[in-house]
Chain A
């Protein structure tokens, strides 16, 4: 280590220690029981405009880690010097109101968990289903954060959840149904009617066998809560991440204060909600807080790290990392806020179109503002009524056009837990929405 510590104007460390367990039940058989014990740290150092980052696993020598990161930052700044990075100032976070846990999953035996999975599987195996898979996940971890700003804080979290998938086949056609729930504490399995959810997954798979593929084209649509939530997250949420904005990779650059959506639309990111994207402070020690991304159709705020908040003006609190990776700007619990329309009103409004349900994932190009999502299934809407079931149906288009074509917002907000990938890192999130009616969208089909 050279004598360059005085050139390092900021450093911070996150030490994460925990364990995770998973049980996989596949076609009635336990396929895997595994447990993983981990300890590691991610350390950042800032020199001028250059970040050095070191991640270490196992027993951690923080001093050595800080020196290694400092050396990277110093070398970078020497060979490619550039404008210094400023960090928005923060206060020590208050760690309070963590999700309450009534039943600690570690107090539940493996046998009991396996029995639960077996009953979930039995429920999913409705007539016509020929393959099932059920997965149980549990993870506990402690995060300790400290920085050269003098912030020191920590918290512990414990997640549990399950996912079930069912596959039905007939004459070479295969269709799947999936359901999952994630939360905090083993009581999740009491709160949610998991057996009913499993049955739903099984029924979806069977029903889809005889579903038709619609003709593609432009038409009015209704999105269910899950698919509309995916839209809010993928198309709007990502484009509002300030690091992407600074990279010039967002259609929302320089749009604050502009009307970008129907006045019915308010989109919020709120890490304080006890949903799957919850955290008390982010990966920079910043207090978590609610952000109105879009307020009544007006673009209101980006999501920030300390660095982007200093550059663009804003409040930090959305910087997150997977494990020991370098933190980047991320969403937490992202949702379209409730409106006042009832589902029946939407059907009348749409008259002839498609009702799209659930999501098999999607992707978005934030720079061009275009997206593509595949729905799990859907129904044709004819004359204001739901008719045939359809499958292999997707929604694509321009984010801003869709936001402006929202004609009704429902009053039935529902959140769905998921995982979001960005910069090679996956973090737990949730997203949600009430039902949305959209006057014109591009539907892909056969």
Chain B
């Protein structure tokens, strides 16, 4: 199919597209998964396909296929769809500036060359890690490695190709012999720098420590969110409001807030497609716009929203390089790159007199992405007393508002984690409402 990408672009022009774009993506992933403490399966997944954007008279049509035999058909459908639509006055053009930065650390030959036997070893390391901790059992998990290749071509001269690799490990653990508690840990990286044994051990320790949870009274208190918990809440309750598409459509809590003090002055947030070895790092976004570092919040002040090429054209500004696709089957829309939360770091737990530490949350996806309101169930939560963990908490609901939260941040830990594309330390928020 790779060889057919250029042909597809020509076909689109012949079919009457004034502008056209071909997005080609291929990937090969190998996963080795376990159930309880035994390896259950190995999966090899080969995926390859193209997505076609065709523009006729300022209207866009889109079609995609993974079948070489359907490419001509898909091109024609995309052009026909564009013809059906009314001209979109907000359409400017497909991207055209192809001066790309260099990025590093996103392709690792060792990952590409990894044999099945090595994948099995890494998966076993996850299991072995959990065995260090008594009275726990892994329930499921696995190791995956992937290699991807992407090519973007358009009729404005964009031609950008890139290869990347990734590895990930995930483990879910449950306690046995008495109380039942669960915990998980995971990590994703561009190369083989993850300690899988430590992931397994950490999840098992967390599950065991969560046993014998106490019930606590409803209260307002300091809550420290682990990077897992924080990135879930930020991703669901804050990030959608930074999306220029939501701004332009009246679906964001941040409309008209540019230049306003949105957060405490110690907080800055960056969206960065360029950092070394980032999971969202690449030379361009998914429509060929060069990647960049964007300051979203500088010392508490909201500086910009995130734009893809369409929303930027509509606003009369430059794209921030946030055109994103989940697969070749969808046209681009605004998405986060590496989303970096920056706050002065201290030994945040030691600095906390009394409060609650929350490792993970469930239900963040039920947040109101416009108002920023969220209500989540805290998991693996612990009370903090005089600067140290005190007791596990059995069940805890935390409700709040993502925008309010930004104004109530009072601390951050040294424990920065890459939770997929969101990069953050543990963050302490004052005056959170919790119900036990």
B-binding residues in A (CB < 8 A): 26-27, 29-30, 32-40, 49-59, 68-69, 72-73, 75-76, 79-80, 82, 110-111, 114, 130-131, 133, 167, 169, 172-176, 216-217, 243, 246-249, 251, 324, 326, 360-365, 367-368, 370, 372-374, 392, 394, 396, 442, 444-446
Contact = CB atoms under 8 A, between A and B. Distances in A.
B102 interface: no
B253 A33 contact: no
A169 B251 CA distance: 9
Most buried by A among B48, B365, B371, B435: B435
Contacts of A169: 250, 370
Interface of B: 1, 32, 35-36, 38-49, 60-70, 73-74, 77-78, 81, 84-86, 88, 116-117, 120, 124, 137, 139-140, 172, 174, 176, 180-182, 218, 249-251, 253, 329-331, 362-363, 365-366, 368, 370-371, 373, 375-377, 379, 395, 397, 399, 433, 435
B72 to A, nearest CB: 11
Most buried by A among B61, B117, B330, B375: B375
A116 B108 CA distance: 50
B8 to A, nearest CB: 13
A248 B249 contact: no
Contacts of B399: 216, 392, 394, 444-446
A326 B395 CA distance: 34
B117 A249 contact: no
Nearest to B65: A37
Given A72-B44, A174-B371, A217-B435, A248 B329 contact: no
A34 B36 contact: no
A39 B67 contact: yes
Contacts of A56: 46
Nearest to B401: A392
A444 B67 contact: no
Contact of A49 (B38, B70, B253): B38
B379 A26 contact: no
A246 B47 CA distance: 31
B46 A57 contact: yes
B343 to A, nearest CB: 25
Nearest to B137: A248
B64 A176 contact: no
A26 B85 CA distance: 13
Nearest to A72: B42
A187 B69 CA distance: 32
A396 B395 contact: yes
Contacts of B63: 34-37
B253 A172 contact: yes
A19 B180 CA distance: 45
Contacts of B77: 35
Most buried by B among A36, A370, A392, A396: A36
Contacts, number: 222
Given A217-B218, A444-B375, A75 B42 contact: yes
B362 A52 contact: no
B1 A58 contact: yes
Given A53-B43, A361-B366, 8 more contacts: A53-B41, A59-B69, A76-B32, A80-B124, A174-B368, A216-B435, A247-B139, A362-B363
29 contacts: A26-B249, A27-B249, A30-B86, A33-B61, A33-B85, A35-B74, A37-B66, A38-B66, A40-B66, A50-B41, A51-B41, A53-B43, A57-B48, A58-B68, A76-B116, A167-B251, A173-B371, A175-B371, A249-B139, A326-B43, A362-B366, A365-B379, A367-B180, A372-B362, A372-B376, A372-B377, A392-B368, A394-B375, A394-B399
Contacts of A392: 368, 373, 375, 399
B220 to A, nearest CB: 11
Contacts of B32: 76
Contacts of A362: 363, 366
The main secondary structure of chain A at its interface with chain B is strand
Contacts of B68: 58-59
Contacts of B64: 34-37
Given A30-B86, A36-B65, A50-B41, A249 B140 contact: yes
A351 to B, nearest CB: 23
A51 B40 contact: yes
Contacts of B86: 30
Contacts of B44: 52-55, 68-69, 72
Contact of B397 (A29, A130, A396): A396
A134 to B, nearest CB: 13
A363 B84 contact: no
A299 to B, nearest CB: 18
B228 to A, nearest CB: 14
A392 B399 CA distance: 9
Contacts of B366: 360-362, 373-374, 394
A425 B267 CA distance: 37
Nearest to B44: A54
Contact of A58 (B38, B67, B365, B395): B67
A326 B41 contact: yes
A111 B85 CA distance: 9
Nearest to B397: A444
Given A365-B379, A392-B373, A80 B67 contact: no
Nearest to B174: A367
Nearest to B399: A444
Question: Closest 6 CB pairs between A and B?
Answer: A174-B370, A51-B41, A374-B366, A372-B377, A363-B362, A34-B62
A390 B91 CA distance: 41
A176 B370 contact: yes
Contact of A76 (B41, B66, B330): B41
A73 to B, nearest CB: 7
Contact of B62 (A33, A50, A368): A33
A399 to B, nearest CB: 13
A362 B139 CA distance: 22
Contact of A370 (B42, B249, B377): B377
A22 B258 CA distance: 34
B394 to A, nearest CB: 9
A53 B36 CA distance: 19
Contacts of B140: 247, 249
B81 A73 contact: no
A53 B42 CA distance: 6
